[in-house]
């Protein structure tokens, strides 16, 4: 069972987040809500609960007058014009654990919704206050962007603000600008990278561990041969990176440093000034998100493989 509105409001108070509270009859639309809270200083907001073809979920929270084209948004996330649609109603109860008409960023408070990706309209940041239902649509709270950010950070969901009306080109040399927002537990991996991830066949019951041989898909023929001989013999190149935590971290830091150094130059400093930090941060996400997740997957698979061999050696010694 999900959290109640009382529990959410208590949490906001514990975090010392200021908000104004408005009680009203149950409402299902922005238009209906306006009749009850239109007199407040808060900006009316709309919230969409979306689903892609691979059953990954998204909440999009925006100002009521922001235009959102789902076809364009789907392309910006990286899966074609028809890859995004409204989530089925049963998902509200199963994932968000809120009634119909109660989808807001606060829905992520429930543990079952932590894998849902949240995209926030950048226009929310310039409003004095924004209006959201706190898990129930018979009450509305007015909260500023700073307070919303504090709440989201407290539950491990750093806020992501984007221009939802933007329509950047997407092509071979222009990757989807919002690909980093795709939930990590359902990562879209290009075919050539997907094939590089090792997959191990689970041990069958009735067989000793020493008789079980993992089936591994390797990135190259050379890596495949090394894995067949045993991961301990694979001591060069990327394989070394993936079974050595220190080198794995250095690999990631090196790639991030390369992006930072390429962006922080006199030309960009003069052009973007105080906004340079945001530019660099966005470019790190844009250029490294998929690559970092792929590297992490390979590291995980190497750990599985090494763990298997370590287990075999331990049993043999005994």
Strand partners, 51: 57, 85
CATH of the domain at 112: 3.90.960.10
Residue 211 lies in a domain: no
Domain edge (last residue) among 123, 146, 162: 162
Residue 117 lies in a domain: yes
pLDDT level of residue 252 (50, 70, 90 thresholds): confident
Q: Both 253 and 158 in a single domain?
A: no
Q: Both 149 and 53 in a single domain?
A: yes
Q: Both 158 and 255 in a single domain?
A: no
Q: Both 21 and 121 in a single domain?
A: yes
Residue 202 lies in a domain: no
pLDDT level of residue 253 (50, 70, 90 thresholds): confident
pLDDT tens for each residue of 120-178 = 999 999 999 999 999 999 999 999 999 999 999 999 999 999 999 999 999 888 899 99
Residue 198 lies in a domain: no
Of 156 and 223, the structure prediction assigns the larger pLDDT to: 156
The range of the structural domain enclosing residue 117 comes to 5-162
pLDDT(195) > 80:
no
pLDDT(188) > 70:
no
Sheet architecture: strand order including 20-23: 20-23, 139-143, 130-132
Q: Both 260 and 146 in a single domain?
A: no
Domain edge (last residue) among 142, 162, 182: 162
Q: Both 37 and 141 in a single domain?
A: yes
- 154-160, long-range: CB < 8 A, 24+ apart: 154/11, 154/15, 155/108, 155/109, 155/114, 156/114, 157/108, 157/114, 157/118, 159/118, 159/120, 160/118, 160/119, 160/120
Q: Identify whether the C-beta of residue 4 lies closer than 8 Å to the C-beta of residue 102.
A: no
Domain edge (last residue) among 162, 185, 206: 162
Average pLDDT over residues 30-50: 95
pLDDT tens for each residue of 46-59 = 999 999 999 999 99
**Given this model, what pLDDT does residue 303 score?**
59
pLDDT(218) > 70:
no
Number of domains within the chain: 2
């Amino acid at each position: 069972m999900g959290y109640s509105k009382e529990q959410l409001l208590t949490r906001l108070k514990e975090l010392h987040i200021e908000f104004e509270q408005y009680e009203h009859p149950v409402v299902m639309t922005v238009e209906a809500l306006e009749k009850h809270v239109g007199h407040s200083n808060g900006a009316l907001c709309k919230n969409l609960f979306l689903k892609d073809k691979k059953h990954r979920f998204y909440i999009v929270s925006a100002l009521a007058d922001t235009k959102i084209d789902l076809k364009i948004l789907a392309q910006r996330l990286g899966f074609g014009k028809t890859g995004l649609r409204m989530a089925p109603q049963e998902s509200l109860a199963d994932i968000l654990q809120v009634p119909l008409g109660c989808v807001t960023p606060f829905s992520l408070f429930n543990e079952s919704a932590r894998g849902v990706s949240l995209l926030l309209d950048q226009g929310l940041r310039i409003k004095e206050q924004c209006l959201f239902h706190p898990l129930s649509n018979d009450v509305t709270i007015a909260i500023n962007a700073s307070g919303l950010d504090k709440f989201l950070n407290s539950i491990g969901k750093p806020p992501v603000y984007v221009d939802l009306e933007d329509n950047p080109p997407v092509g071979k040399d222009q990757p989807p600008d919002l690909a980093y927002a795709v939930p990590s537990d359902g990562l879209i991996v290009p075919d050539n990278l997907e094939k590089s991830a090792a997959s191990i066949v689970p041990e069958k019951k009735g067989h000793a561990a020493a008789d079980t041989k993992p089936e591994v898909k390797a990135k190259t023929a050379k890596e495949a041969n090394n894995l067949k001989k045993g991961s301990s013999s694979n001591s060069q190149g990327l394989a070394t990176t993936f079974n050595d935590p220190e080198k794995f971290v250095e690999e990631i830091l090196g790639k991030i440093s390369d992006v930072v150094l390429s962006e922080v130059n006199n030309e960009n400093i003069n052009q973007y000034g105080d906004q340079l930090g945001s530019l660099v941060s966005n470019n790190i996400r844009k250029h490294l998100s998929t690559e970092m997740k792929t590297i992490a997957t390979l590291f995980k698979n190497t750990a599985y493989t090494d763990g298997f061999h370590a287990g075999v050696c331990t049993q043999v010694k005994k």
